[in-house]
Structure 1
Amino acid sequence: MKSLFLLVLLLSTSVSAKVLMVSDIDDTIKRTHVLGYMTGGLRSTNPFIGLPELYTAFLCNQEVTKKEKDFCIKKKGVIHNNKRWITYVTAASGRLQMFGREFIARSNFPMAVVKGKNSEQDSYKFKSAEIASLLDGYPQYEIVLIGDNGQHDAGVYDHISKKFPFRKITSFIHQVYSSVEEDKEKRGSSLAKGQIAYLTATDLGLHFLKRNFIEEKDLANISRNVWKHLNTDDDDLYEQVIPSWTSCEEFVSSYKRADVKISVELSTLISKIEKRVEQLCLSKR
């Protein structure tokens, strides 16, 4: 029994050194409004502010020298350490899938494989099978799943976690829709047990810092950009963080900052972001 415990411990330690991120696109990193009018579906330069930099910092974090890290960031992760991988898996098909691929390139996200479904494929089954295939192909990697609560991601990621109970899997869900919306067509999914909600790049960045996926200076740069867009009365700016169609009262009511040690200066900045987010989200009542 003791030998089995040591084996599991050793395996979990080795897995933590390598991380595969699997990310959705629409409403996860792109301001699309899937449960509404798809107002951002045909655009290719409409990311949620701070997420391109966060994804790139994650991918380039394991570079040995500053010069190598700077080069990795400059090239959007095209050349990076094999301890970090990103794959985009989207349920979009046809023309929307094409815009998703263009979005990755034009919105400065790390360049990586984009897997999309055929129009006749069921979205839930496609995502489940594709992600399961990735886990089979990366047996020594910790898995990070990033999606939103608009359609299938919460359910798919919960299914994957149960299908691979001995793998280290963390699911982050962009909670941009209400799970108690009266209109069923606009109702978001509830998060499954163990899934972690985020709203801004700062929220997600705090969890990344806690897991040593990024450095504090990366989070500080991202948070300054988030604050710059929130600290304004200009709708066009703060809606790049929290779009007008977002329903986030549910998020702020249960929000708890990730427990990670940061500088007093950064903590003060993040407190300002949190207060502004609460103000904007509660005004949507």
Structure 2
Amino acid sequence: MKFLLVLLLGYSALAKTVLVTDIDDTLKVAHIRSTIGTVSNAFRTKNIFLGMNDLIASVKKDANADIYYLTNAPAVLMGASHRALLRNGKFPAGTLLLRQSGVSSDVHKINALNTLIQRESPDTVILIGDNGERDNKFYKTIMNTYPGINFKTYIRIAYSIDNDHKPLRGQSGFISSLEIAADLYKEGLIDLYSVDNHFNRHAPKFIADTQRNKTGMMYLPKWLRCQGHTSFNTLFAFEHPWLSIVKKKIQKVCSRL
């Protein structure tokens, strides 16, 4: 029994975890499906979804994860503003992977994920994106390519779900960092202290967000619509004093037309 415990602890220490997250409409309030929103928000460096920085910091600390910020934003045009956004949002140090000149947005994320997975040989990969464009399809391609890896994939439901932009099999939708924190705790990728602290810090403010803002730091932008989002029913598989109120808030927000 003692040998088995030592073996399990040794494996846990050696297990490699990588977290890869998109930026626009995942960490940054960008409104990429709106031409006006995309243009007006392009160089804003304080349009931040609250809670995501603390979530990523917990994964980095508790799972000793390497962090990658993967975006289809062009390096020449958006490099400086995306770096400023990560600084302003106090996101954990990590590698920023922008799209270089001459590289198609159709292949950039797939190529970057293939490269880092082959280099890092991770046991677990946490993928975070949104349903504004094609993160669901990019991530599903990678999940199918590496069936031996434990993938935890989360898609922010920034826009009401349709057939092209819904979470695919093995992917979970979310509208708040609280949903991801609960699921990562269940999976043993963040500890009890981290998830409890995350809920105590962010749940009251998430519940109080009136969804009136379009710019700045917020939980719920005014334009967000998340009809069809139901993943929270399975992600919240643990007990917490804030849980029932958070679920009611999500249900209310996602019932808006």
TM-score, shorter chain, exceeding 0.5: yes
Counterpart CA distance in 1 for 2:46 and 2:210 is 22
- The 8 Å contact of residues 22 and 146 in structure 1, kept in 2 or not, is answered as yes
* Other-structure match for 1:101: 83
Q: Report the residue type matching 1:84 in the other structure.
A: A
- The 8 Å contact of residues 28 and 49 in structure 2, kept in 1 or not, is answered as yes
**In percent, how many aligned pairs have the same letter?**
22
* Other-structure match for 2:5: none
- The 8 Å contact of residues 161 and 226 in structure 2, kept in 1 or not, is answered as no
Following superposition, the deviation at residue 233 of structure 1 comes to 4.3
* Other-structure match for 1:27: 25
Cα pair distance change 1:112/1:239, threshold 3 Å: closer
Q: Deviations over 1:185-232 (max 9, x none)?
A: xx9612211111111010111111112222233223322323224325
Q: Report the residue type matching 2:181 in the other structure.
A: G
SS in 2 for 1:116: strand
Query: What are the equivalent positions in structure 2 for 1:210-225 lying under 5 Å apart?
Result: 210-224=186-200, 225=202
1:277 pairs, out of 238, 250, 253, with 250
1:170 pairs, out of 133, 146, 152, with 152
* Other-structure match for 1:84: 65
Cα pair distance change 1:226/1:98, threshold 3 Å: farther
Cα pair distance change 1:227/1:259, threshold 3 Å: closer
Q: Does 1:126 align with 2:103?
A: no
Specify every segment of 5 or more residues in structure 1 that has no aligned partner in the other structure, as ranges.
Answer: 1-9, 63-82, 181-186
Cα pair distance change 1:255/1:114, threshold 3 Å: same
Cα pair distance change 1:277/1:147, threshold 3 Å: same
Counterpart CA distance in 2 for 1:270 and 1:243 is 21
Counterpart CA distance in 2 for 1:199 and 1:130 is 26
Q: Deviations over 1:153-188 (max 9, x none)?
A: 1111111111112222221111111233xxxxxx96
- The 8 Å contact of residues 16 and 142 in structure 1, kept in 2 or not, is answered as no
* Other-structure match for 1:194: 170
Count of aligned positions: 242
Following superposition, the deviation at residue 15 of structure 1 comes to 9.4
Specify every segment of 5 or more residues in structure 2 that has no aligned partner in the other structure, as ranges.
Answer: 1-7
Q: Deviations over 1:54-102 (max 9, x none)?
A: 111111115xxxxxxxxxxxxxxxxxxxx42111111001333321121
SS in 2 for 1:247: coil
* Other-structure match for 1:50: 51
Q: Does 1:205 align with 2:181?
A: yes
Counterpart CA distance in 2 for 1:241 and 1:152 is 22
Q: Deviations over 1:102-125 (max 9, x none)?
A: 111110100111010024321130
* Other-structure match for 1:228: 205
- The 8 Å contact of residues 213 and 222 in structure 2, kept in 1 or not, is answered as no
SS in 2 for 1:91: strand
Counterpart CA distance in 2 for 1:130 and 1:142 is 17
Using the size of structure 2 for normalisation, the TM-score is 0.84
Q: Which has the higher strand share?
A: 2
The two structures, once aligned, show a CA RMSD in angstroms of 2.5
Q: Deviations over 1:30-75 (max 9, x none)?
A: 111111122433221222111111111111115xxxxxxxxxxxxx
Cα pair distance change 1:172/1:229, threshold 3 Å: closer
* Other-structure match for 1:18: 16
Cα pair distance change 1:233/1:128, threshold 3 Å: closer
Quick check: 90-99 or 110-119, which moved more? 90-99
Q: Report the residue type matching 1:280 in the other structure.
A: V
- The 8 Å contact of residues 182 and 235 in structure 2, kept in 1 or not, is answered as yes
